[in-house]
Amino acid sequence: MQEQDFAKLVQVNGANVYFEHHEHPTASETFVLLHGFLSSTFSFRRLTPLLKENYNVISIDLPPFGNSGKNNRFTYSYENLANTVIALLDHLNVNNVHLTGHSMGGQIALNVMKKAPSLVEKGVLLCSSGYLKRMNWPITLLSHIPFFHLYVKLWLTRSGVRNNLENVVHDTGLIDDEMMFGYLKPFLEDDIFKALTRMIRDREGDLSVNDLKNIHTPCLLVWGEHDRVVPLSTGHRLKQDIPNSKLVVLKETGHLVPEEKPTEVLNHIHAFVRATAEEVSDDTQTESLFQNGLSQTLISET
């Protein structure tokens, strides 16, 4: 049996959703990857090839990002994006996944765990957003003004791709032309700015502390110690509020951990998926397990 890779665009939950699927010839475990705000499957380009060596991998472009639909009539709330992920996995007849979310994708992953806990075996939250409130009402009100999407476009243009990348990585030497174009490409079409305007209106606040305390899925939290977008303090709060969770901090790393430290992330993931729920909830046992797992799964990054 040979490995199979394919990419596809399907309609689920009223949206055209693009995903990339790697079917491993023998693996029984599946990782589902959810990217962050203003990003796409491209942000996992260094982590996905490593995961593919041992697991099935499904990487999703969340609407309206990447190659997915940018319909400004779609509801871009985190709850509905979670519904879209659930619908896609149901369409693919995939369950018992290891759901992995970076930044905004982490918050959507948490919504999936809340809504469909039996679907997710374990969660991996990479610098996940958390505790953010709903957008201020004046901005929400302004988003209804015709041509507001042009202001959104102007704001993103002025901030610039390189400036945004410099904000999310600790080592700016990682930024090259391939990286800049990969993150710029989804914004070369105007439709996304109309969809982002709709997202400003639709995005509700992040899950409450009570919601988080009722998520019992074992979760691995991976943070960069120099994250300037979602500070490490958010990781510590999530560790306290998500019952069966473990926090790992990567040294000399910023917000974009899948790009900056893919091998270290992979090694922690390997150890995590082998841990039992009891070991994940016990800090002492888990720390020992992670160190043993890391020593056994060192992989040279290409």
Domain boundaries, the chain: 4-133+206-296
Residue written as tokens 């990002």? 65
Beta bridge partners of 246: 220
CATH number listed for the domain at residues 4-133+206-296: 3.40.50.1820
Q: Judge whether residue 238 has pLDDT over 80.
A: yes
Q: Distance between CA 114 and CA 125 in Å, rounded?
A: 14
Catalytic residue flag (residue 255): yes
Q: DSSP 3-state helix, strand, coil percentages of the chain (rounded to 5)?
A: 45, 20, 35
Sequence-ordered list of residues with C-beta below 8 angstroms from that of 138, at least 6 positions apart, any chain: none
269: three-class secondary structure by DSSP: helix
Catalytic residue flag (residue 159): no
> Of residues 103, 128, 143, 245, which has the active-site annotation?
103
217: three-class secondary structure by DSSP: coil
Q: Mean pLDDT across the chain, nearest whole number?
A: 88
Our CA angle for 94, 99, 102, nearest 5°, is 140
Q: pLDDT (tens digit, 9 = 90+) per residue, 113-152?
A: 999 999 999 999 999 999 998 766 566 766 666 767 666 7
Q: Which of 115, 194, 186 is nearest to 153 (CA)?
A: 194
Could you tell me the CA-to-CA distances from 47 to 43, 102, 188, 203, 236 in Å, in that order?
A: 9, 12, 25, 28, 24
Q: Which of 199, 215, 200, 220 is nearest to 99 (CA)?
A: 220
Q: pLDDT (tens digit, 9 = 90+) per residue, 78-117?
A: 999 999 999 999 999 999 999 999 999 999 999 999 999 9
> Of residues 98, 149, 170, 255, which has the active-site annotation?
255
